[in-house]
Amino acid sequence: MSISVVSFIANYLRPDLPDTTAWSDASLTSWIDSSLLDISRAFPRKSYAMWVAAAATYSYPFADSTTVADETTIIRLLNCLYPYVIADTTGPAMTRKSHLDEDFIGGDFFEPDSDAQILYIGAAMTAGASIYSDAHIYWKTATNTIINPSEHYELIRLFCIWQAYIHQAAAVSSSAVPDSSLFHATALQVGRAEAAYRDAYQKLAETKATSIFTDGWTMDKWDRNIHTDGEGPVSW
Question: Is 233 contained in some domain?
Answer: no
52 in the same domain as 38: no
Indicate the DSSP class of residue 115.
T
* Average pLDDT over every residue of 121-140: 92
By DSSP bridging, strand 109-113 and strand 95-96 are parallel
The upper half-sphere exposure of residue 12, i.e. CA atoms within 13 Å in the direction of its Cβ, equals 22
Q: Is the pLDDT of residue 62 over 70?
A: yes
* Average pLDDT over every residue of 110-118: 93
Q: Is the pLDDT of residue 211 over 90?
A: no
Indicate the DSSP class of residue 94.
P
88 in the same domain as 163: no
Helix axes 180-208, 153-173, angle to 10 degrees: 160
Coil, helix or strand at residue 51: strand
17 in the same domain as 94: no
Q: Is the pLDDT of residue 225 over 80?
A: no
* Average pLDDT over every residue of 180-193: 86
7 in the same domain as 116: no
d(CA 30, CA 33): 5
The parent domain of residue 152 ranges over: 3-42+141-208
* Average pLDDT over every residue of 86-90: 78
Q: Is the pLDDT of residue 101 over 70?
A: yes
pLDDT the model gives residue 68: 67
26 in the same domain as 68: no
Identify residue 167 by its one-letter amino acid code.
H
Question: Is 225 contained in some domain?
Answer: no
Q: How far apart are the first and last CA of the chain?
A: 11
Q: Is the pLDDT of residue 137 over 60?
A: yes
pLDDT the model gives residue 124: 93
Question: Is 217 contained in some domain?
Answer: no
d(CA 56, CA 123): 9
57 in the same domain as 122: yes
* Average pLDDT over every residue of 200-221: 61
**Mean per-residue pLDDT of the chain:** 84
| Sign of the dihedral defined by the CA atoms of residues 24, 29, 31, 35, in that order | positive
Structural domains in the chain (count)? 2
CA 74 to chain centroid: 7
Question: Is 114 contained in some domain?
Answer: yes
pLDDT the model gives residue 83: 94
Question: Is 230 contained in some domain?
Answer: no
d(CA 194, CA 191): 5
pLDDT the model gives residue 140: 87
d(CA 66, CA 212): 26
d(CA 85, CA 129): 8
121 in the same domain as 87: yes
Indicate the DSSP class of residue 120.
E
Residue 24 confidence class, pLDDT cut points 50, 70, 90: very high
Return the percent helix, strand and coil in the chain, to nearest 5: 35, 20, 45
Q: Is the pLDDT of residue 30 over 60?
A: yes
Residue 88 confidence class, pLDDT cut points 50, 70, 90: confident
Residue 178 confidence class, pLDDT cut points 50, 70, 90: low
59 in the same domain as 72: yes
Question: Is 181 contained in some domain?
Answer: yes
Given 107, 137, 167, the domain boundary residue is 137
Read off the pTM: 0.74
184 in the same domain as 77: no
pLDDT the model gives residue 58: 97
Question: Is 161 contained in some domain?
Answer: yes
pLDDT the model gives residue 18: 96
* Average pLDDT over every residue of 148-169: 94
Give the model confidence (pLDDT) of 69-84 as tens digits. 555 688 889 999 999 9
Question: Is 221 contained in some domain?
Answer: no
192 in the same domain as 155: yes
133 in the same domain as 163: no
71 in the same domain as 29: no
